[in-house]
Amino acid sequence: MASKNAESDPNALFQQALALHRSGRLSEAASLYAKLLALFPANAQLLASLGIIALQQGRPDESERLLGQSLMIAPDEPVALSNRGIALQQLNRPGEALASYERAILLNPDSAELHNNRGLVLAALGRPEEALAACDRALALMPGHPEAHNNRGSILQSLARFDEALASHDRAIAARPNSPSAFNNRGKALRDLGRLDEAAASYAHAIALRPDYAEAHYNLAVVLEESGGFADALASYDRAIALKPDYASAQWNKSLLKLLTGDYEEGWPLYEWRWKRSGGERRRSFDQPLWLGEPLAPGTTVLIHAEQGLGDTLQLCRYAPLVEALGARVVLELPSAVATVIATLPGHCTIVARGAPLPAFDRQCPIMSLPLACRTTVASIPAAVPYLFADAAKREAWRRRLGQRTRPRIGVAWAGAAAHGNDRNRSIPPRMLEPLLRLPLDFHVLQKDLRPGDADSLGRFESVHWHSQNLGDFSDTAALIQEMDLVISVDTSVAHLAGALGRPVWILLPFKPDWRWMLGRSDSPWYPTAVLHRQSAVGDWSDVISEVAERLRRRFGAGPAAQ
């Protein structure tokens, strides 16, 4: 409590407020700063002090306002500029934060903290090389700066330089052994390196240091799930959610695990959290209300709009006739790549390529919400195939192009889109297909997009036939698939298209597959003509390829593989 002398002496009152602030008694300090500000309303230092306390108490909007007022009076104050940069970062205004840090650095160029913060905001702006240079500058000024090592590691991870990232996180831990954040980030680097057990141990250490660390519980759940520890993963997701009920990524990942394990009743409602997760797809903005299965008046027009990947759209377009059967008129808005082939769906859906004007409609539903709207369980999946069909004229064109059949024709797809978040797990290096390609069969590449080196890797096999130049949209791919005796594909849109066409398809799956393939089964309730071949260990395709080669020999009487 302020003495009479302190109350009558502004300088003494300020010193008392400063002492309270330094000791962490923030509310008491703020009360004294405010009392002084009433006496000196244009005092930059008092405004800055109140702004810093607002930041420390988790009110970045108020902090930014107060620090901005302080800087209008004293524009060259590095501490105010630095803290305003932090507030702007928290308000997701990285461009303004960068300007604030850079002005502070001009005034105080030897501050490692400022260079580190500048690195953080450059990373948020998608400028990782500049961010890395800023962290390096911070470390040149202060070699043992733990946050700079930690942030440097995260930036290196974004550049896929995982070994270097791990080394930076280890240096951060050496500088500050009790840093939960450093152990959490170290776990991320270990996960990216495929060292899942070590990643789990690093996350567990972060949690031991900080039991209420929701992000570490979430990250632990992810690696437990990837390792096959599904019950433990679910428990970790639940702990993350208990600590942070609005944790959208944890809620959404829990939904995927529920779907993977066949719990559709809980999984589909949780799947709606996808709209709230950071970095996820944004919900489309329509004036028309969302439809999630409520009764429809006869003649209601429902817009079903595609989202996520082409495989998802090919899989779930099957619901459009079911919505029509409820008495609705259905408009399907689709990516142009799949619009033509999905136009072969039974029924009378209106097909609109994305970007074209939409007709009038009354309700709307994202395509991935259709299983929820239709109350889908594993037992009620609409699995009648085929539900898509190849164009007869395009089939005939492929017959002429392929010529006379001399050996069984196998369509192959070993990779999906390189930008897919799970590409490193689901795609196969083409060289690993060599045991199949030595068999006396003809292999036809169903991928439109090839990666550098693919043709070189497989070009020596005369049995491999390339068709990318003749694959326009998926209606071309559908017609080619119809001319195959069998399709062998990783988990990509080609597999979904083959299944939707009712063609025999063998799908090669990673150890922890996508939710739709479930666990421990060689068949798919979504595609009756599919056979699933699963990795027996994380990242190991050798058993899968051996199994497929043996199955091909048995099915087509191909004999032993040629050497």
pLDDT, tens only, 175-203:
999 999 999 999 999 999 999 999 999 99
The overall average pLDDT reported for the chain is 92
pLDDT at 283 (0 to 100): 87
Which of 307, 361, 348, 300 lies closest to 328 in space, CA to CA? 300
CA distance 483 to 118: 57
pLDDT at 38 (0 to 100): 87
- Mean local confidence (pLDDT), 451-480: 87
Band (pLDDT 50/70/90 cuts) for residue 454 is confident
- Mean local confidence (pLDDT), 283-299: 93
224, exposed or middle or buried, with CB in 10 Å at 0-12, 13-18, 19+? buried
Q: How far apart, in Å, do the first and last CA atoms of the chain sit?
A: 90
CA distance 493 to 541: 20
- Mean local confidence (pLDDT), 361-366: 97
Each residue's pLDDT tens digit, 219-237: 999 999 999 999 999 999 9
4-210: which CATH topology?
1.25.40
Strand partners, 333: 305, 352
Each residue's pLDDT tens digit, 369-418: 999 999 999 999 999 999 999 999 999 999 999 999 999 999 999 987 76
Asked if the peptide bond before residue 386 counts as cis, ω within 30 degrees of 0, the response is yes
CA distance 238 to 507: 32
* Three-state DSSP class for residue 303: strand
| Cβ contact 333:358 at 8 Å | yes
Strands (E) across 423-493 are located at 442-445, 464-465, 486-490
The 8 Å CB, 24+ separation contacts for 453-458 are 454/415, 454/430, 457/429, 457/430, 457/431, 458/430, 458/431, 458/433
392-556: which CATH topology?
Rossmann fold (3.40.50)
Band (pLDDT 50/70/90 cuts) for residue 12 is confident
Better-predicted residue by pLDDT, 272 or 282: 272
Handedness of CA 203, 205, 208, 213 (dihedral sign): negative
177, exposed or middle or buried, with CB in 10 Å at 0-12, 13-18, 19+? exposed
The 8 Å CB, 24+ separation contacts for 381-385 are 381/525, 381/526, 382/318, 382/319, 382/322, 383/525, 383/526, 383/527, 383/528, 385/499, 385/500, 385/501, 385/502, 385/527, 385/528, 385/529
Band (pLDDT 50/70/90 cuts) for residue 461 is confident
Q: Which residues contact 19 (CB under 8 A, 6 or more apart)?
A: none
Amino acid (one-letter) located at 115: H
Q: How many CA atoms lie within 13 A of 483 on its CB side?
A: 27
pLDDT at residue 455 tops 80: no
| Cβ contact 82:113 at 8 Å | yes
pLDDT at residue 2 tops 50: no
State the DSSP code for 1: -
Q: Which residues contact 78 (CB under 8 A, 6 or more apart)?
A: 104, 107, 108, 111, 114
- Mean local confidence (pLDDT), 449-461: 77
CA distance 186 to 166: 6
Q: Where are the alpha helices (DSSP H) in 360-473?
A: 370-373, 392-402, 423-426, 434-437, 454-458
pLDDT at residue 244 tops 90: yes
Q: Which residues contact 557 (CB under 8 A, 6 or more apart)?
A: none
pLDDT at residue 7 tops 70: no
pLDDT at 558 (0 to 100): 65
pTM for the model stands at 0.86
Residue 506 parent element (H or E)? strand 505-509
Band (pLDDT 50/70/90 cuts) for residue 563 is very low
pLDDT at residue 4 tops 50: no
Band (pLDDT 50/70/90 cuts) for residue 560 is low
Measured from the Cβ of residue 81, the count of other Cβ atoms closer than 10 Å reads 26
pLDDT at residue 3 tops 50: no
Q: Which two tokens stand for residue 240?
A: 């993350």
- The pair phi, psi for residue 487, each rounded to 5°, is -115, 135
State the DSSP code for 245: T
Handedness of CA 475, 414, 383, 422 (dihedral sign): negative
State the DSSP code for 198: H
Q: What's the CA angle centered on 49, arms 46 and 52, to 5 degrees?
A: 150
Residue found under tokens 């988990």: 491
Each residue's pLDDT tens digit, 301-314: 999 999 999 999 99
